[in-house]
Structure 1
Amino acid sequence: MKNELSIAFIGGGNMASALATGLADKVCPARHIHVIDINQEAHAAWQARGMSAALAPDETLARSRVWIFAVKPQNMRDVVASARQWLQPDTLVISVAAGIRADTLAAWLGAPGAPWGRLVRCMPNTPALVGAGVTGLAALDGVSEADRALAAQLLGSVGQVVWVDGDDALDGVTALSGSGPAYVFLILEALIAGGRKVGLSAEQARQLALGTLAGATRLASESDEPPSVLRERVTSKGGTTAAALAVFQQAGLAGIIEQGMQAAARRSRELAEEFGK
């Protein structure tokens, strides 16, 4: 597979760059990666990595076993229209574009009454830029087990993958892991600001906050016990942690986070309706 697989990125932004970095010379040779990037100034950087680049979809797509759409949702329909002439029966299409539902993209790629079935829709997140992402994937019925395994391998090159069932579940993925890094960064900001309030320097607060989040997440990932039990073990009755948690609970922190995630999922559905028209 490593020597035979060829991949085309349609869209050359940050996520495409992260995926290409994870794939090149690991999953397939860099020379087998073709990038469609409207930013001509970026072509030299792609070519310096051993990949080919073009301004618009071209015949190279016909020789690419996998197409990865990574364009802005408002541009997706036009890009699909310019690329679909080079679809082959064995082309696996993977979309990492937010806001475009799988059935919508399948209809745009296919013929009237015959939507394209070999399609996997993905929702990665920004930690993929450092190889620590987590990606939700959903496959249409026309995707074989071999195609599912290939999609998981490709997205797994930049982190973990989690399969879900359909676009509705991907709205949930968007609300949790897709938008989730922003929630964590907000908490990180609050911890650093709180550290300053209790007498730490900016750098001390930053190091302690980063280390605490990284360590707690690692402990949770390596433990067989749920986060609630781990939290209880840190919380001594009448102690400092209990005092802080009481304030959080009084403010309804858990409920606020849930409400925010529901708003994100709702907005994901709204965007899909807007971009799918």
Structure 2
Amino acid sequence: MTDTRLPRSLALVGAGKMGGAMLEGWLAAGLPGAAVSIHDPQPSEAMARLCAEKGVAVNPQPGAAGSAEVLVLAIKPQMLDAAAPALQPLVSGETLVVSVLAGKTVANLEAALPAARAIVRAMPNLPASIGAGATGAYANAGTSAEQREIADTLLRASGLVEWVEDEALIDAVTGVSGSGPAYVFALVEALAQAGVAAGLAEDLAMRLARQTVVGAGALLAQSDLPAATLRANVTSPGGTTAAGLAVLQRAENGLPDLVRETVAAAKRRAGELSG
């Protein structure tokens, strides 16, 4: 972060796994703790310690210091309407609202926070907790270029940020990268279970499955080659990998169809959460 892009004041509503991960990223990147307040009825012990160490205010009276320059919403989507009345003092027409609430549209946010003009919808994912996140973001028409830059800087502290110009695409982002880490973890589980079925001890199968995904991810990160090329590079014609891929890539009910259905289901649920 650079000084020109840092908000003067930031209120974080919800300091759970995602909110906490983002806060840690901001503090590590140079956001002063004194510029931040968190609003969470039950912050974890670890979060309370972090806030005490960094001088972050915990549950101050809403609006005691006036409206925030940036308000970040990281509560459960279903809690928005119930939380909104207490948040009104934190929001003015100059406040940038950054929401990571799955499924909650700009219209939903405008209805909950009528004073808000600048709204950014963002969908980060769990690897943001180690600075390796993937976030999709959308800014409404009321967001200035400077505010979008501030939002980009805050989100980029946790990893990759990709902006979309159509709000409807945020639900697709949710289905791909927002929920995607869970799909990868499920793959590790399935790969380990398959190893056990093939005769490996359970702990050995899990160690091999975990490291295989970790290593493949690291290779993706370090290589400029497309994933398809990397796949081809480890697939010898007529070899063992080719035999396995023939099952994964079969025309019906193979991995492409399964993943397509998976992403579509997550995207559909994100739309349902808008109410």
Distance 2:150 2:266 in 1: 29
Match of 2:101 among 93, 97, 104: 97
Distance 2:133 2:44 in 1: 27
Secondary structure (helix, strand or coil) at the match of 1:258 reads: helix
Tell me how large the CA RMSD over aligned residues is: 2.2
Distance 2:90 2:159 in 1: 30
Q: Kindly state the Cα deviation for residue 193 of structure 1 after the two structures are TM-superposed.
A: 1.4
Q: Which residue of 2 aligns with 1:252?
A: 254
Q: Contact 1:37–1:55 (CA<8 Å) still a contact in 2?
A: no
Q: Which residue of 2 aligns with 1:31?
A: 34
Residue 41 and residue 135 in structure 1: after superposition, are their counterparts in 2 closer, same or farther (change >3 A)? closer
The unaligned stretches of length 5 or more in structure 1 are none
Q: Kindly state the Cα deviation for residue 133 of structure 1 after the two structures are TM-superposed.
A: 1.3
Distance 2:218 2:90 in 1: 45
Distance 2:217 2:43 in 1: 40
Q: Kindly state the Cα deviation for residue 44 of structure 1 after the two structures are TM-superposed.
A: 4.1
Secondary structure (helix, strand or coil) at the match of 2:162 reads: strand
Q: Kindly state the Cα deviation for residue 60 of structure 1 after the two structures are TM-superposed.
A: 3.2
Q: Which residue of 2 aligns with 1:221?
A: 221
Q: Contact 1:122–1:138 (CA<8 Å) still a contact in 2?
A: yes
Q: Contact 1:123–1:137 (CA<8 Å) still a contact in 2?
A: yes
Secondary structure (helix, strand or coil) at the match of 2:71 reads: strand
Match of 1:110 among 107, 114, 119: 114
1:80 and 2:81 matched: no
Letter in 1 for 2:56: M
Q: Which residue of 1 aligns with 2:73?
A: 69
Q: Contact 1:5–1:65 (CA<8 Å) still a contact in 2?
A: yes
Q: Contact 2:71–2:91 (CA<8 Å) still a contact in 1?
A: no
Distance 2:8 2:240 in 1: 56
Q: Kindly state the Cα deviation for residue 61 of structure 1 after the two structures are TM-superposed.
A: 5.0
Residue 204 and residue 57 in structure 1: after superposition, are their counterparts in 2 closer, same or farther (change >3 A)? same
CA deviation digits over 1:105-142, x for unaligned, max 9? 0233226xxxx331111111111122221111110011
Secondary structure (helix, strand or coil) at the match of 2:136 reads: strand
CA deviation digits over 1:161-199, x for unaligned, max 9? 111123310000110011111110110001111222333
Q: Which residue of 2 aligns with 1:53?
A: 58
The unaligned stretches of length 5 or more in structure 2 are none
Return 141-150 or 208-217, whichever deviates more.
208-217
Q: Contact 2:125–2:181 (CA<8 Å) still a contact in 1?
A: yes
Q: Kindly state the Cα deviation for residue 205 of structure 1 after the two structures are TM-superposed.
A: 2.3
Secondary structure (helix, strand or coil) at the match of 1:9 reads: strand
Q: Contact 1:34–1:60 (CA<8 Å) still a contact in 2?
A: no
Distance 2:42 2:225 in 1: 48
Distance 2:128 2:240 in 1: 36
Distance 1:102 1:110 in 2: 11
1:162 and 2:162 matched: yes
Match of 1:15 among 15, 18, 42: 18
CA deviation digits over 1:196-234, x for unaligned, max 9? 233333333233222221222232333333222221221
Secondary structure (helix, strand or coil) at the match of 2:65 reads: helix
Distance 2:271 2:106 in 1: 12
Normalising by structure 2, we get a TM-score of: 0.88
Normalising by structure 1, we get a TM-score of: 0.88
Return 101-110 or 239-248, whichever deviates more.
101-110
